[in-house]
Structure 1
């Protein structure tokens, strides 16, 4: 390798050491190891180290085509030490502020979504349901009133017929009485259904 490539490799590995310190603190911040089981922590640790190892190899490949020298590991160690001494506290404060900003933005967007989309939909649905309930109650009231009115008119119309009916032969009256009972049972069933429906709507 030429001196230029070696210098670029050295600088790149120092930068990777600093990046490793930042990524490690970020990983530990989000992992929250005391709250995680050992199995999950074990697998996430393996994924983290493998991912960072691939990242280092990719960086080396771009700089010096993947040639490994002893000073590469020393440069990584120097970069990590520089991060611990100079940048760790600043980065952790910046990380917490960034997390806080992202959380606040998420909560703001969540509230906007609720008040601009969810809440209007709920209000519209409630209005439609109230309107449908009101129309249904009116229709049921009209149906109930119509049935009572028809029964009242029927009584008025059929009262003279009932009086005259007494002079008909007993056989004819018996057949008519059977037919009347069937019709009365049919109308009573309809009346009960309407009353039950009205009670449910009132609830």
Structure 2
């Protein structure tokens, strides 16, 4: 009686394993295929799927028939998968697409909400700050020009008596240029003279 119940439970769990494997495979394949951001996870999820499937099948075999391997194990799993594919595949794939659309809608909604609550104020603040900086820069340029004009005016007022000394036609500058010319002529004559030979 115990062996019969074990065999019946073993057959049931193997059929259920095939059904669950088909459901899980189609679900995560649909989800990762429908979103570009998750496609890179597909190889990793495939590896996890096959490792987990092998572990689950071994565990169910262990608790039902003490881990004895049966030749028709894969046949039972295949029958369970065919039952799933025939009766439930469209429902699972449709549900996966519905979940993807729902999650995408939620993400878009909260993204737009955050953009309006945070992004728009930040953009407006940046634009206002940029406009204020441009205005301040223009005012600074005008202030600088005004300060320079005041300094030139003050310098012209206080240095007015000394202006006559800086004009190029002043007599002392002409005398200085004449002395410079005499000096350079004398130096040129000195350098042109040949040195006397020592006897």
Q: If the TM-score is normalised by the length of the shorter chain, which range does it land in? A: 0.5 to 0.7
Correspondence 1:148 to 2:149: yes
Once the two structures are TM-superposed, the CA of residue 42 in structure 1 deviates from its matched residue by 8.9
| TM-score (structure 2 length as normaliser) | 0.63
Identify the structure with the greater helix proportion: 1
The verdict on how the C-alpha distance between 1:95 and 1:30 changes in structure 2, with shifts beyond 3 A counting, is: closer
Q: SS in structure 2 opposite 1:68?
A: coil
1:28-80 deviation line (CA, Å, top 9, x unaligned): 53576xxxxxxxx9998666544432332244345555333345334323311
Tell me the distance in 2 between the aligned counterparts of 1:4 and 1:106.
Answer: 49
Q: Distance in 2 between matches of 1:85 and 1:165?
A: 107
How far 1:133 sits from its partner (Å)? Answer: 2.9
CA distance in 2, matches of 1:61, 1:54: 10
Verify: 1:170 aligned to 2:172, yes or no.
yes
CA RMSD of aligned residues (A): 3.8
Deviations 1:106-143 (A, max 9, x none): 22232223223333223223322332332232222211
Counterpart residue number, 2:113: 112
8 Å CA contact retained: 1:9, 1:72? no
> Does the 8 Å CA contact 1:13/1:75 hold for their aligned counterparts?
yes
